[in-house]
Amino acid sequence: MTAWKLVAALAASAAVFSANSNAQAPIPAPQYSYADLADLADAAPVVVDARIRESIRVTGPAAANVPAGKARFYVEADVLSLIRGVGGSPSKINYVTDVMLDTRGRAPKLKKSRVLLLARPVSGQAGSLQLVAPDAQIPWSESVDSRLRAILTELTAPESPPRITEIGGAFHTAGTLPGEGETQIFLSTQRGDPISVIVLRRPGQEPRWAVALGEIVDEAARPPQRDTLLWYRMACSLPARLPAKYLESIDPAQAEIAQADYRIVREGLGRCVRTRGAADQPPVPR
């Protein structure tokens, strides 16, 4: 018996539809940061807008690893639209999701709820999806739908910023005038396309920095705008400090400036805010 059929069988045998459906809480609508949505979208080859037809609460061994304060459901849903995916989608799908209980321990009312699902197909099982994270069923709203579609548009664009794997190198070059100089930082990416960052220092001016998808930062380059995919790739991937191994072979004074310039970049990017719990984080996308 397949894993999905096993879950369905366990749920059906338990015959546990959420007790007293009239007392069920509405499905909660958590707030998602840009990084939350980008984490999920980046890991999801399939994104579906769907309406839940039926839900069965899963108990017993199939729910043994459900975190405290949550409940597991086997869900059947009607597809309203396929937002991302190759080869189309069946009109009806099924999946398993973990949802938050309210303060009284009641399960939410899932039936007829409109949701966004970030998932991957289950091999050999048409219509079965596996969510990329336990909380990758998102209550639909116009705002979340719009933000998610914008992220997916960037992710699937030909010029989409690649995933950053590490800092590939960094150095500082002093200029001819006191206080003049340039720090270059090279970022390695998953698909091999470099990302370059430059910090320029000019006498009597505040340091300026810019980033480009390539080895050369031209005059048109600027820092990435917040809540864009390039900003997300950098703000949510880069370490707090330049690794010491890139500074060991250069003059200590220049290494100190390079580290200070890197701090300027990190401060300019700002914090990568995530509101989802650690247990809800998706796996590293492949």
pLDDT tens, 43-54? Answer: 999 999 999 999
- Averaged pLDDT for residues 198-220: 88
- Distance separating alpha carbons of residues 199 and 215, to the nearest angstrom: 14
Most confident range (mean pLDDT) of 58-72, 137-151, 235-249 is 137-151
Q: What is the model's pLDDT at position 29?
A: 56
Most confident range (mean pLDDT) of 57-61, 65-69, 145-149, 189-193 is 145-149
- Averaged pLDDT for residues 210-223: 83
Distance set, CA 138 to CA 29, 32, 97, 116 (Å): 8, 9, 10, 5
Judge whether 47 and 80 are in contact, CB under 8 Å.
Answer: no
| Percent of the chain surpassing pLDDT 70 | 86
- Distance separating alpha carbons of residues 218 and 268, to the nearest angstrom: 19
pLDDT band at 247 (very low <50, low <70, confident <90, very high): confident
84 or 13: which leads in pLDDT? 84
Q: What is the model's pLDDT at position 88?
A: 82
Question: Who contacts 110 (Cβ-Cβ below 8 Å, separation ≥6)?
Answer: 27, 52, 55, 73, 75, 99
pLDDT band at 140 (very low <50, low <70, confident <90, very high): very high
Q: What is the model's pLDDT at position 108?
A: 85
- Averaged pLDDT for residues 267-285: 78
**CATH 2.40.50 placement within the chain:** 3-147
pTM, rounded to two decimals: 0.83
What is the CATH number assigned to the segment(s) 3-147? 2.40.50
Q: What is the model's pLDDT at position 249?
A: 78
